[in-house]
Amino acid sequence: MTKPTIGNGLIILAVTVLVVIIGYAILTMPDDRNGMQKLGDAIHELPNGPDKAARQLEDRTPGQKIGDAVKDTGDDIKHNTAE
């Protein structure tokens, strides 16, 4: 069995920092949809409710979209399990 060295720890730290930076960059990318794409997405979401359709008209980052999806899933679970 080999002992871990400081070099291995630095490599792991560098990779971790790089993954965090790339993840942050992806989650905060600007919304590059044009007005027609936003309108099409809103029309597509209309059966799920006007509030979800209205969200599609806003500029939202991928991180915000993921947060909305998690919240919606939680709301759906809560609604389906309520007695």
Contacts (Cβ under 8 Å, ≥6 apart) of 55: 45, 68
**Tokens 């002992």 appear where?**
3
As given in the structure block, the two tokens for residue 73 are 């899933």
Residue 45 DSSP label: H
The full set of domain ranges for the chain reads: 6-81
Which contacts of 29-32 are long-range, i.e. CB under 8 A and separated by 24 or more positions? 29/61, 29/62, 30/59, 30/61, 31/59, 31/60, 31/61
pLDDT in tens, the chain (83 residues): 566 677 788 899 999 999 999 999 999 998 888 989 999 999 998 998 898 899 889 898 999 989 988 998 998 899 888 75
As given in the structure block, the two tokens for residue 30 are 């600007």
| This prediction's pTM | 0.65
